[in-house]
Amino acid sequence: MKKMVCMAIVFTFVFAVVQIMVVQAAPEAKLQKIQLTYADHIPAMSGGNVFIKQQYIPRIQEQLAKIGYELDMTFYHAGSLFKYADQVPACEQGLVDMTVAVMSYELGRAPLHEVLDFAFMGWDGPAMNRVWIDLNETIPEFRNELSGFKQVFRFIPTRRLLHHNITEAKVPEDFKGKKIHASGMGADLFKSIGAVPIRQNPGDWYTSLDRGVFEGISVAFDMVGIMKLFEVLKNHVFFAGDGLGFTPVTHIMNRKKFESLPPGVQKVLEDNIMWASEAMTLDELNRLTSYQEGAKKKGNNFIELTPEETEKWRVAVKPVHEKWIEDMEKKGLPGRKIYEEAKKLSKKYTKK
């Protein structure tokens, strides 16, 4: 009897070991690949692209793996597939699946989004992100401007400043007749103070500053660091309190491509819009010090305007805002409604 019991125990043990070996030897379930192409106009190692590859995609992959999918992404950075002026139309046509839309460059298709580009609106980056979300959810005319795309997540770079090579220039009258790179509402502001606004593809900025094609540029320090513009600039102007606003950026996918994805994949992308929008904006803010290092090492001037000097800019921008509202209303668009709602939401979301 004991012999039989021993044999049964041995058999059970051997059977269990074999089962464990079989389970361990079994190949992992193969994930179905989702092929996507992505094109942008900035270097591969810029802050935004580092965030996408080190934080966003790993998070998405982990969630997709649970439902049997994985992304197979092909990246085309720094305008290697399309220059900025062509990349959004290319996405719309399905020539590339995903790209970056800088809203101050997209006024032909999304004029109401220019409100996000306004100077002196009182918001910080995270607050403006929330304002954007609320406007998109509550005002159909605003939302419909990008209906041909699926917004995957939004991104607010750090505060836009004024960088230039003009000796002792601080207040609006100092820039009269000067050539300044700016787009959207920024271009309207500089035109109103007698400057000459110029807009170019980002890849041309360095050479144009070096050759004096324009004498200043209104962008966040992010781009000054990423594009090494500090090498061809001397002065960086900071405003007291509020300032020249933020450049609104959204990462978009061709609408038909998004709708062709399996429902579970669509849900994963949808569920991460809010997280990615907030996380990427904060990640960029944390990089601000590193973006300024090159300018500091070169010995560039960091000019802090007084409240009185800043007020001159604030006064200069008010009629520009009002003209935009009037222009939108003439086109039958709810410019005043959106402007007032944006101001109200700014007070709601901006940290005091």
* Strand 216-217, strand 162-164: pairing: antiparallel
Residue with tokens 């044999």: 7
> d(Cα 308, Cα 204) in Å, to the nearest integer?
35
Domain boundary assignment for the chain = 32-158+247-286, 162-245+290-349
Contact 279, 55 (CB under 8 A): yes
Nearest to 212 by CA among 163, 165, 167: 165
Q: Say how many CA atoms lie within 13 Å of 42 toward its Cβ.
A: 20
Give the DSSP letter of residue 220: B
Contact 288, 221 (CB under 8 A): yes
Look up residue 134 and give its two tokens: 């609320």
- 88 Cα distance to chain centroid: 14
Contact 94, 254 (CB under 8 A): yes
Structure confidence at residue 306 (pLDDT): 97
Structure confidence at residue 351 (pLDDT): 78
Give the DSSP letter of residue 242: S
Contact 114, 184 (CB under 8 A): yes
CB atoms within 10 A of CB 48: 22
Contact 114, 333 (CB under 8 A): no
Return the CATH fold of 32-158+247-286. D-Maltodextrin-Binding Protein; domain 2 (3.40.190)
- 265 Cα distance to chain centroid: 22
Structure confidence at residue 14 (pLDDT): 43
Structure confidence at residue 213 (pLDDT): 96
Task: Give residue 337's identity as a one-letter amino acid code.
Answer: K
CATH topology agreement for domains 32-158+247-286 and 162-245+290-349? yes
In angstroms, what is the C-alpha Rg of the chain?
A: 26
Residues of the chain under the 50 pLDDT cut: 1-2, 4-11, 13-18, 20-27
Task: Give residue 289's identity as a one-letter amino acid code.
Answer: T
CATH class of the domain at 162-245+290-349: alpha beta
Nearest to 65 by CA among 93, 28, 35: 28
Nearest to 69 by CA among 258, 265, 217: 265
* Strand 196-198, strand 249-254: pairing: unpaired
> d(Cα 351, Cα 123) in Å, to the nearest integer?
8
Structure confidence at residue 25 (pLDDT): 43
